[in-house]
Amino acid sequence: MVSLIPLLTLALSVSGLAIRQPDSQAELAPRSGPKVLQLDLNIDKSKPSGKRDGSAPKVLQLDFNVDRSSRKRDATAEIDDNRDVRYFMDMYFGSNKQKVQVEIDTGSSDLWVHDEIYGPSYEGYFKQSESDTFNYINEKFEIHYFDGSACYGQFGTDNVALEDGTVVKDFQFAVVNKATDRGTPAIFGISRKVQENAKHQYDNFPYALVTQGIIDKPAYSIYMSKEGGDKGSVLFGGIDKKKYEGSLVSFPISDDYFCDITLESLDVDGKEYSLSKSAMLDTGTSWNFFPDEIVDDISDRLGAKINDDGDRVIDCNQPTDKYITFNFGTQEIQLTYADFVVRPFKNGCLAGISYWNPKNGIILGDVFLRRTYTVYDFESDTISIAQAVDTDESDIVQIP
């Protein structure tokens, strides 16, 4: 295993993105209501409400929370613990419904949890010996992340319950008993099957929902809160028409493995950079990662000062009338300078940008996704985007 991110800042910010591993049917409890699964983001730690929208068919709704403390996967958290945001939810495993907190991640495809030997993640671990319905599969699990961490274990199947009472029976997931970083959280990967770290493809979460008739296609939409906000959602099988302005525009996924679309150009307050590069939209990554020239330009415009650890420290009060525009060809997404303010830090705030090898494309993490309404459709292999709107209103419909 070789870490692909030599810089300290990258190790702190890229977490959910998994390295490509070349070698590497459930039944839902009967229920009434729509078939879109919604996971609402809440800044507090209160129990999710689990309410279900009844206005549209085949929409299954859940809640999950936002944690603005450091991700424990960060190997250098002693610098400052308050730099990352994670999007998590509670799942309940086995016949006795053991509670485990998992981090939702569009940059990987497997659900894995800690076992009793490895110890708890943020909250909870899975003690398979106490579940009457758990069965190991004769297949090892191994995943390597771009921050250099790795996890090892074995696949198995068991019942997995969600906060709203939905139960997925005989769902395949991995039980991890070894990791290079003991602070790595349990991960709920929801990307395409091709990214599964298994020798034999299986129905991961989006596909299992289809197999079991919960939704009609392996597709979901994501709405994240603005920095400091307390609302957001993930809808499996549905979109919320109130959460974006204009039209959703679809783009073909441009990579055979990762969920990338092509970013044609970037306009930094009037200066245009022609790119035509693959860009990954990843909830498991906090910041935006660009080629050096763009990072340096944005840093200068934000008035960034580089500290001894390589962090870009900026004034926390950035302009809301200066823009950086992401041009995808037939759709544009605008971020203000203020959107690049990540967290309070020593003598200022952190800027949510860092260097990335241009050969590896571009990564657009939470800094970008907080201002973007995103729809992942794995049946048509497309990603649709629109400018997000900050609102509490909701109008949920099924993904066509």
- As to burial, measured by CB atoms within 10 angstroms (0-12 exposed, 13-18 middle, 19+ buried), residue 272 is exposed
Compute the average pLDDT of residues 382-400: 93
Mean local confidence (pLDDT), 304-319: 88
Residue that the structure tokens 């979901």 belong to:
220
**Tens-digit pLDDT profile for residues 254-266:** 999 999 999 999 9
Q: Are 204 and 109 in contact (CB under 8 A)?
A: yes
Q: Which residues are catalytic?
A: 105, 282
The percentage of the chain sitting over the pLDDT mark of 90, rounded to a whole number, equals 52
Confidence at residue 200, expressed as pLDDT on a 0 to 100 scale: 93
- Kindly list the domain boundaries of the chain, sorted by start residue: 8-223, 239-398
Does the pLDDT value for residue 145 go beyond 90? no
**Concatenated DSSP letters of 145-207:** BTTS-EEEEEEEEEEEE-TTS-EEEEEEEEEEEEESSTTPPEEEE-S-GGG-SSSS----HHH
- pLDDT given at position 31: 42
Q: Is the pLDDT of residue 9 over 70?
A: no
pLDDT of residue 64: 57
Q: Which CATH superfamily is domain 8-223 in?
A: Acid Proteases (2.40.70.10)
The residue with greater pLDDT, 310 or 295, is 295
Backbone region of residue 58 per phi and psi (left: phi > 0; alpha: psi in -120 to 50; beta: other values):
left
Task: Tell me if domain 8-223 and domain 239-398 are identical in fold.
Answer: yes
Cβ neighbours of residue 297 closer than 8 Å, sequence gap 6 or more: 268, 271
Residue 276 CB burial class (10 angstroms; 0-12, 13-18, ≥19): exposed
pLDDT band at 345 (very low <50, low <70, confident <90, very high): confident
* Exposure string over 315-334, b if 16+ CB within 10 A, otherwise e: beebeeeebbebbbeebbbe
| pLDDT of res. 66 | 63
Closest CA to 323 of 272, 368, 269, 264: 269
pLDDT of residue 42: 42
Q: 239-398 maps to which CATH number?
A: 2.40.70.10
pTM of the model: 0.83
What's the CA dihedral at 201, 202, 205, 206 to 10 degrees?
70
Res. 224 pLDDT band, cuts 50 70 90: confident
Query: In this predicted structure, what is the pLDDT of residue 285?
Result: 83
CA distance 299 to 310: 12
Mean pLDDT in residue range 29-39: 55
CA 37 and chain centroid, separation: 16
**pLDDT at residue number 52:** 33
Q: How far apart are CA 159 and CA 169, in angstroms?
A: 4
Residue 248 is predicted with a pLDDT of 98
Chain centre to alpha carbon of residue 332? 21
Mean of the per-residue pLDDT values of the chain: 80
